Amino acid sequence: MGRSSSWRVLRIVRVLVRHGLDEFVFRLHLLRPYRFALWLLPGFWFCDRSAERGQRLREALEELGPVFVKFGQALSTRPDLIPADIAAQLTRLQDDVPPFPGASAEAVVEQSLGAPISEHFASFELDPLASASVAQVHGATLKDGTEVVVKVLRPGIGEVI
Residue 102: which pLDDT band, with cuts at 50, 70 and 90? very high
Is the domain of 140 the same as that of 116?
A: yes
Q: What does the pLDDT read at residue 5?
A: 75
Q: Is the dihedral of CA 8, 9, 11, 16 positive or negative?
A: positive
Beta partners for 152?
A: 136
Is the domain of 26 the same as that of 89?
A: yes
As for how many domains the chain has, the answer is 2
Enumerate the H helices of the chain as residue ranges: 3-18, 22-27, 42-46, 53-64, 66-76, 84-91, 102-113, 157-160
Amino acid sitting at position 46: F
Is the domain of 106 the same as that of 85?
A: no
Parent domain of 74: 3-94
Taking only the tens place, the pLDDT of each residue in 110-128 is: 999 999 999 999 999 999 9
Is the domain of 85 the same as that of 129?
A: no
Is the domain of 34 the same as that of 57?
A: yes
Residue 103: which pLDDT band, with cuts at 50, 70 and 90? very high
Q: What does the pLDDT read at residue 34?
A: 63
Is the domain of 85 the same as that of 148?
A: no
Question: For the chain, what is the mean pLDDT?
Answer: 85
Point out the domain boundary residue: 54, 75, 94.
94
Is the domain of 32 the same as that of 85?
A: yes
Is the domain of 53 the same as that of 121?
A: no
Pick the residue with more confidence: 58 or 46? 58
Confidence check: pLDDT of 24 > 80: no
CB distance 71 to 27 below 8 Å: no
Is the domain of 89 the same as that of 121?
A: no
Q: What does the pLDDT read at residue 18?
A: 83
Point out the domain boundary residue: 76, 94, 112.
94
Point out the domain boundary residue: 94, 117, 143.
94
d(CA 81, CA 75): 8
* Most confident of the ranges 15-24, 90-99, 110-119: 110-119
Pick the residue with more confidence: 96 or 21? 21
At 128, phi and psi to the nearest 5? -70, 150
Q: What is the helix, strand, coil percentage profile of the chain, to 5?
A: 55, 15, 30
Is the domain of 83 the same as that of 10?
A: yes
Using alpha carbons, select from 147, 117, 151 the residue that is nearest to residue 136.
151
Question: pTM for this one?
Answer: 0.66
Q: What does the pLDDT read at residue 7?
A: 81
